[in-house]
Chain A
């Protein structure tokens, strides 16, 4: 079947994450039959929700060929604020407020990068310290549970559609749909691909490169802040360090999904697969009893392997004269 073989080869980079996902599901199911049980699937999807928000919006930053290392700290900060807020009053306005905080955080990253011309990995590493510090200061460095009398405010989050799909997962999917729309059906989305693939050419073509970059970082900020709210709701507490491992996990999800670090190739749908893959691996490792500390080693290695597999070795921008 040469035709099928060609289709397979041409789409290898987008099929690969799906194949990996199938492989991971297969392996863990064979090790523990409960892995694909209804209860565990719901649990996987619940865990997927916040990561989907971060990784989905982080995709745009990676599509630019940039990186955002502040996502985890923004999550921590917004988790702390959201947790405390729910404990005090707890109205739905909070989601809007936190999104606004995300806009500010993302915009800050973008401005440091575009106006001050600080490379993104340094810029976001620095802002990461700022948000982490803010989280620790606001929370006094201690986790704090949301009092039971306020749980009524967030009980909606326990709803599961068909006893399988948790509402938080559905909300995250909705957010992803918005991101997908931005990616494919807006000028900003197209510009992000163009700038990531060849910034010099995009600039000469009249693409507003600065606005494009600001938009991508702002979206990543919003996604992270909303993820923080989800954690506050899910864990029913404000945790000043909940985001620490998530910076790496979000990058792992995007890269495992098949978005390249060099920019211009990938997309949010691939990230959906990447997030499922990362959470399945994490959940599976828990299920077969691997220590939580070992899991970070696992994700670090996975990112490097994924980058090697994704790296375009053919030269990116060749026209045959």
Chain B
């Protein structure tokens, strides 16, 4: 957009929008404006607040504070349907189509009434209407009577856009709509991306507005008119795309570097020569390929990468939750092509602390004590007989050591706060005597105080020689905790950084390789 061009009217704006979950602010006081006929990009690290913002605009979640306006009028929506009626539609990150229904049935899902006469739906008229809806976004080539599972990913994405666009434009004929695209390119190849971009631009030229979220900076730079940068749940600034380049954006995205003291870097180990785990050329078809590294005793290895880079899948393979399609793992002098399950991995000293604590980390209806002992029941057995007194004794010991705030160790763990529950999980890891720990977002949903205690725990364990692989919440955390960083992008480990306590790399250096 050049300066001489007349200023376009504002379609949507948000003022001081916030979303809190308890004390945790996923989004804090964010401002945003989108004009008619404009493509706005949102970028930021994982968890910077982009998706939260989109969800609030689309009516999936409600803001806890702040206001939104659509065409100058106050705007609020309780449900996605509510948002659609007011001219806002969101294309979700995970494809939300029903695969065994046809294109037309998906586009008009929940709106079949228009095609019903005497209780019978006319598929013919529905297909014709679907063809019109597809033609409206230039996708007349997709046959409406085809089933979704017969389409490639790009066409599916276009059907989804056609669906959202049709819902929004039927509800508001002749008016400009706001379409939200959350990572629409993550499943597309290069040619499919170009097609998507072409159609997105066409929608813009017709006067509609689009908000585009992507991890890929080059796409954001190529497609958008203006870019908002997010970090740690707040807006870190906006730039016109033509004035921006990758370097500028990297600098805006990275957060403040916290002092080494916060991450107890003074207790970081020097690399020990003994290798705890040798990973050789492991691949998981379609997710990651030929990842190779050595994990040394007592080190913290950060596996960083944006969502979909494959770092999570590498962790699932190492802890026995998934089987790689090729490659080997060598631990304790034994070489494996894969572990049968996490139980087998644990026999060789590998344990994972999962990301979704409520679903995978703890067993909510069991007691604190049972949750602690579950990875090593043998510790409370003598001659094969389990002593419940011993279980409680061990649990009380660790409750004291880790200063876990709880009533009785026989209380259900679901009564504990996030931080205390996570400390129980760490107690379990220590009781398990695992020598290799895979920590998947160990500080997620944990209050600040407990976070620091968890960092201390990680140092305690590594000082005892435990090797740790970590997936962090922020780049700052990655750099602060790790003694070495492995950057993954599009399924490959592309670069490794040494992070000695006195010479930690800058965030900007690393984010370059991630995006």
Report whether A197 and B418 are in contact in the complex, using a CB–CB cutoff of 8 Å.
no
Known: A187-B377, A187-B381, A205-B374. A319 touches B341 (CB 8 A): no
Task: Please give 17 more A-B residue pairs, beta carbons under 8 A apart, in addition to A190-B370, A205-B363, A319-B358.
Answer: A184-B386, A190-B386, A193-B366, A201-B359, A201-B360, A203-B341, A204-B319, A205-B375, A206-B432, A209-B343, A264-B365, A316-B365, A317-B358, A317-B359, A317-B414, A319-B421, A320-B417
Q: How far is the CA of A206 from the CA of B347 in the complex (A)?
A: 8
Q: Which residues of B contact A207 (CB under 8 A)?
A: 343, 374
Partner of B362, one of A184, A316, A319, A321: A319
9 chain-A/chain-B pairs, Cβ below 8 angstroms? A187-B381, A190-B373, A197-B365, A201-B362, A202-B363, A204-B342, A210-B341, A316-B365, A321-B417
**Are the CB atoms of A198 and B354 closer together than 8 Å?**
no
The answer, yes or no, to whether A318 is at the interface (CB within 8 Å) is: yes
Whether the pair B414, A208 counts as a contact (CB closer than 8 A) is: no
CB distance from A53 to the nearest CB of B (A): 23
Are the C-beta atoms of A321 and B385 separated by less than 8 Å? no
CA distance A264 to B345 in the complex (A): 25
Residues of A within 8 A of B295 (CB): none
Residues of B within 8 A of A193 (CB): 366, 370
Find out whether the CB atom of B416 lies under 8 angstroms from the CB atom of A185: no
In whole angstroms, how far apart are the Cα atoms of A186 and B360 in the complex? 23
Answer yes or no: B459 CB below 8 A from chain A CBs: no
- Report whether A186 and B385 are in contact in the complex, using a CB–CB cutoff of 8 Å: yes
Among the interface residues A187, A206, A316, which one has the most CB atoms of the partner chain B within 10 A? Answer: A206
Q: Which residue of B lies closest to A206 (CB)?
A: B346
Number of interface residues of A (CB under 8 A): 30
A187 CA / B387 CA spacing, docked (Å): 10
Closest to A189 in B: B386
Interface string of A288-321 (1 = CB under 8 A from B): 0000000000000000000000000000111111
Q: Which are the 6 A-B pairs with shortest beta-carbon distances?
A: A206-B346, A317-B364, A187-B377, A198-B363, A321-B418, A208-B343
Closest to B429 in A: A205
Beta-carbon contact of B341 and A201 below 8 Å: no
Q: What 0/1 readout, one digit per residue, does chain A (166-188) give for beta carbons within 8 Å of chain B?
A: 00000000000000000011110
Highest count of chain B CB atoms <10 Å: which of A190, A191, A318? A190
Please judge, given known A-B contacts A190-B386, A321-B24, whether A264 and B362 are in contact too, CB under 8 Å: no
Chain A residue with Cβ nearest B351 = A206
- Residues facing A in B286-340 (CB within 8 A) are 319, 321
Q: How many whole Å from B472's CB to the nearest CB in chain A?
A: 19
Residue total for B at the interface (Cβ-Cβ under 8 A) = 45
> Does A200 count as interface, using CB distance less than 8 angstroms?
yes
Chain A: minimal CB distance from B423 (Å): 12
On whether the beta carbons of B366 and A264 are closer than 8 Å, the reply is: yes
With A190-B377, A193-B370, A204-B342 in contact, do A316 and B364 touch (Cβ < 8 Å)?
yes
Asked whether any CB of chain A lies closer than 8 Å to the CB of B430, the reply is no
Whether A277 sits at the interface, judged by CB under 8 Å, is no
List residues of chain A with CB within 8 A of the CB of B381: 187
| Residues on B with beta carbons closer than 8 Å to the beta carbon of A194 | 363, 366, 370, 374
A311 to chain B, nearest CB (A): 14
Contact between chains at B360 and A204 (CB < 8 Å)? yes
Chain B residue at smallest Cβ distance from A263: B365
Q: Do B384 and A186 touch across chains, with their CB atoms under 8 A apart?
A: yes
What A residues does B365 contact at CB under 8 A? 197-198, 264-265, 316-317
